[in-house]
Structures are given as C-alpha cells and as structure tokens.
Amino acid sequence: MHLIVASRADKASMSMEKYILENVPFSEPDSDNGMYEYGNYRLKLINERHLNYDQIPAEEKGLTPDISDVTFLSSHSSSAEVKSLTVHPTGNFAEAILGGKEKTLSVSSPEKMTPALRMLAEAYEGNGFEITLESTHHGPYLELPNYYIEIGTTENEWKDEAALRAVKEAVFTEPDTASENFVGIGGGHYVPKITKYVMENSVNIGHLISKHDQDTITRQQIEEAVDKTPKCRGFVMDRKGCRGPVRAIVREISDDRGIEIIKL
C-alpha cells in the first residue's frame, strides 16, 4: 500500500492534492483512518508541515500496517525562483535545521522516486520547468521508504496545469523493481550529471550526497546512505563533483562490501 501525504500548511501541496482528487477516483475518507483510498494507494491530509511528520503517528500506523512507502506532496523553495519539478530523499548529513534528526537519514525510496522522476519528464507537456533530482536534505525522519515530489517555486507554478498533471502521473507510476538501486554521490545540490544518467539508463537512485555535504561527511554517514537505500547495488559517482577523500572512502566501501561504482 502506497501512502501519499499532503499538508494544509503548504499551498503547493494543497494544489497538488486538489488536482489529484479531481482526477483520480479516490473514495471518500475512511471513517476509521481519515484517508482517501484508490486501489493500492491511500492519501492522507495533515495539518502540520511534512518536515515535522516524523515516524507516522502510532495510531495511523496501527490502522495502516501495510504501508510500503510514502510520497510527500510539497512546494519547492529556490532563491532564484526557478520553475522546477523535483524529487528527493529525506535526511540530514549535518544539523536538523528543517525537521528530521541531526546527522541521520531516513530510508530512501529508489524504486518509487526514480520512475516518478522519469514520468515527470515524460508527462510534462509545458515548457520552462526544470525537472531534476535533488540531493538528500531535510525531514521528516521515517523508517519507511519515502521521498518528496515538489513544484517550485511561486504560486504561479503551484497552479500550473501541466505541472500538476505531470505530478499526478508521476505519483501513480508503479515501482521499478527490475532496475538495480544505487546511492548517488557528487555534484551540486541538483546533481545534474546523476540526473541525466538516471534519465537515460535503467538504474534507480536512493540517497544522494552532494559536494556541499562532503567537507564534513564521514565514512559512517556514507555507509548509512548505502544501508538506507534498499537493496543497494553500489554508487553512481560524479567523479569531478567528488572531493578526493570522499572518492577514497567510496572505493574502500565498494571493496569491503563488494558493490559497484559507476563513474560519470
């Protein structure tokens, strides 16, 4: 069962939720758990920001013990106000400034997030939006596979019909269980080389470590990214976007665990 979470505190999230409910035949909310249902999907509307939705509340988890993964509908922030459709895993390599736990990652969702990214590109019929991965950042902290899908960055984009349609198609794309799962490492926050590689090849990406996290990152944290990328087969590395000491750590982990490094 796939859970979709929308937040009343996020205007973009509410716009995405409204579009989905208008275009997908969800049932009315179940009186027991307050969730809309459609096939093997459930949709939950929460009051708080997604960032603070750590560990789905026990009472909800008890009512829906069969949840396999979570998709968060969200706005995307950009100081340059770039039009964008993005997906990313959750967790913090440093301080927990925006939810989650300090220096702790959630479980990523490579088999849902990656086909969602590809579907955004396939389904989007407008122009001017950048479609991209983002590196792992912010909360909430979840021990279930989860990812964010976002529209950025102003109210005009949140209401864009083509963007909303693409998000709807992406959210309901079935998991890719045939491709192998990897941790992405290297490049800027939007990991452009890794995004391009994922778009063009049959691989799934879980956690993503940008160069901005590499000054302080430890071997333990890189191994956590591997451990919290389910069925991780190795790394997709933007070699020029990785600092030398980090490349060395990745080689050591690859040798010790017998996993692959795909160098871009």
pLDDT of residue 81: 74
Convert 169-191 into a string of H (helix), E (strand) and C (coil).
HHHCCCCCCCCEEEEEECCCCCC
Confidence of residue 57 (pLDDT cuts 50, 70, 90): low
Beta strand segments in the chain, E: 2-7, 36-38, 41-46, 69-76, 84-88, 130-133, 146-152, 180-185, 203-209, 232-237, 260-263
Q: Report angle CA 57, 88, 24 to the nearest 5 degrees.
A: 70
Q: Is 91 helix (H, G, I), strand (E, B) or coil?
A: strand
Q: CA 164 to CA 142: how far, in whole Å? A: 26
The range of the structural domain enclosing residue 105 comes to 2-263
Q: CA 180 to CA 80: how far, in whole Å? A: 35
Question: Dihedral angle at the C-alpha atoms of 172, 164, 153, 11, nearest 10 degrees?
Answer: -90
Query: What's the half-sphere exposure (Cβ side, CA atoms, 13 Å) at 44?
Result: 24
pLDDT single digits (tens) 85-117:
999 999 999 999 989 999 999 999 999 999 999
- The whole-chain average pLDDT of the chain stands at 93
CATH number for the domain harbouring residue 222: 3.40.630.50
Reported residue count of the chain is: 264
Confidence of residue 61 (pLDDT cuts 50, 70, 90): low
pLDDT single digits (tens) 20-34:
999 999 998 876 677
As for how many domains the chain has, the answer is 1
pLDDT of residue 145: 95
